[in-house]
Amino acid sequence: MGQKINPLGFRLGTTQSHHSFWFAPPKNFSGGLQEDEKIRNCIKNYVQKNMRISSGFEGIARIEIKKRIDLIQVIIYIGFPNLLIEGRTRGIEELQVNVQKELNSVNRRLNIAITRVEKPYGQPNILAEYIALQLKNRVSFRKAMKKAIELTEQTDTKGIQVKIAGRIDGKEIARVEWIREGRVPLQTIRAKIDYCSYTVRTIYGVLGIKIWIFVDEE
C-alpha cells in the first residue's frame, strides 16, 4: 500500500518553510507547542465569533508565529480583506487583548500583523472552507468540488486534487470521493505543493476534506 505522508512536512527545507519559528530547550518544547496551538485557536475563534455576520467564512490562509525572548510575532495571512479589517485598528487591538489573556505571559509582548493573500482561492484552507460551507448547505458534493476547482483554475495553479471522505450526501455507508485536475506530483520534492485537511461537521456526521494544490516547480 502507498504510505501517504503529509506533503508539507515532506518538503520542509526545500520548498516549504515552517509556520512556527522559535527555539526552545527540550524540556520547554511541549509548552511552546501548546502555546502556538492556543494562539491559533484563539484567533480562529475570534474570527468565527465576529464574522458570522459576513458570510460564515473565515478566510484565513495560514497563521505564522515567530517568537523571541521578549516578543511573540503573529502574522495572519488572510484571503478577504473585509474580515479583520473593517474596524482596522480596533479589531486587531481587541484580538491582541484576547490572545494575551489566553497566554497570560507577563514578560512578553504580542504583536499581530495582517497580510493580504493575493489569490485567496489558490489557498487550500480557504477552498476547504468554501467546500465545507457548500456541504453544510446540502449542495451535492460533486457540484461543490467542481466549483472549487473552477475557482482554483482562475488563479493559474498547475494542478489540484480534492478528496472528500465520510458520509457523503448523508448516505449510510461512508465512502471516499476524489477528483483531480492538472498534475499533482506528490513524489517530487522539487514541486511546491500546498496541502490542507479540514473537518466539516454536517448534520449526519463528520466529513473530511483534503486538498492538494500544485503551485509550481522550482
Contact yes or no for 129/58 (Cβ under 8 A): yes
What pLDDT is recorded for position 82?
Answer: 63
Whether 54 has a pLDDT exceeding 70, the answer reads: no
* Predicted confidence (pLDDT) per residue in 142-176, tens digit: 999 999 999 898 888 899 999 999 999 889 999 99
Q: Nine-digit cell at 83?
A: 474580515
- Rounded CA separation 175/167 (Å): 7
In order of their start, the domains of the chain are 7-114 (3.30.300.20), 118-215 (3.30.1140.32)
Mean pLDDT of 17-42: 92
Give the pLDDT score at 84: 59
pLDDT tens per residue across span 69-88: 889 999 988 887 665 555 55
pTM summary value? 0.86
Specify whether the CB–CB gap between 214 and 191 falls below 8 A: yes
Q: What is d(CA 215, CA 218) in angstroms, rounded to the nearest whole number?
A: 10
Q: What is the mean pLDDT of residues 10-27?
A: 92
